């Protein structure tokens, strides 16, 4: 594998931005909401970027692909928790409208990154 830095990947930076946005929102919630939905959504969204980073660091294309698939699963889990948060009136429509484009962009970026692993010039 090349000397690619996970921090340079657009997909990683998008995951990082989404994570920080959700962190800021959850920080305003009541203790019950933070302790239940909040902890779950933060874990799942943080896992997206963490798995991208770990995959790059594993040193083989097969491991990297496996961790990108795990990151994709964490994205879908994050979508679940966003739905729960919205249904429980923890997220406003405005907040959801800000998060949705990032979530919608991440899935195809993760798939494109997954498909590029092992190919030449996969930045």
What would the pLDDT profile of 53-77 be if each residue is shown by its tens digit? 999 999 899 999 999 999 999 999 9
pTM above 0.75, yes or no: yes
Write the CB contacts of 12 (distance below 8 Å, at least 6 apart in sequence): 6, 49, 52, 53
* Residue 12 CA from chain centroid, whole number: 8
Query: What is the rounded end-to-end Cα distance, in angstroms, of the chain?
Result: 12
Mean pLDDT estimate for the chain: 93
The structural domains of the chain, with segments of one domain joined by +, span 7-116
Least Cα distance to 98 among 109, 113, 82, 110 occurs for 82
pLDDT band at 1 (very low <50, low <70, confident <90, very high): very low
For residues 22 and 74, is the Cβ–Cβ distance under 8 A?
no
Element (H or E) spanning 50, and its range? helix 39-57
**Least confident span in 35-39, 49-53, 58-62:** 58-62
Per-residue pLDDT at 118: 85
* Helix/strand/coil for 122: coil
Tokens read off for 40 = 């779950």
State which fold the 7-116 domain adopts: de novo design (two linked rop proteins) (1.20.1440)
pLDDT tens per residue across span 21-32: 999 999 999 999
Structure-token match 């919608």, residue found: 104
pLDDT exceeds 60 at position 2? no
The number of angstroms, rounded, from the C-alpha of 123 to the middle of its chain's C-alpha atoms is 19
């Amino acid at each position: 594998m090349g000397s690619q830095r996970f921090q340079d990947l657009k997909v990683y930076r998008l995951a990082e931005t989404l994570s920080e946005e959700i962190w800021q929102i959850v920080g305003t919630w009541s203790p019950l909401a933070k302790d239940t939905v909040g902890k779950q959504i933060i874990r799942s969204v943080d896992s997206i970027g963490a798995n991208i980073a770990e995959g790059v660091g594993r040193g083989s294309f097969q491991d990297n692909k496996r961790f990108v698939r795990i990151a994709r699963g964490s994205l879908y889990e994050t979508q679940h928790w966003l739905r729960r948060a919205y249904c429980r009136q923890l997220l406003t429509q405005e907040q959801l409208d800000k998060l949705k484009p990032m979530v919608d962009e991440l899935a195809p970026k993760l798939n494109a990154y997954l498909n590029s692993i092992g190919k030449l010039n996969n930045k």
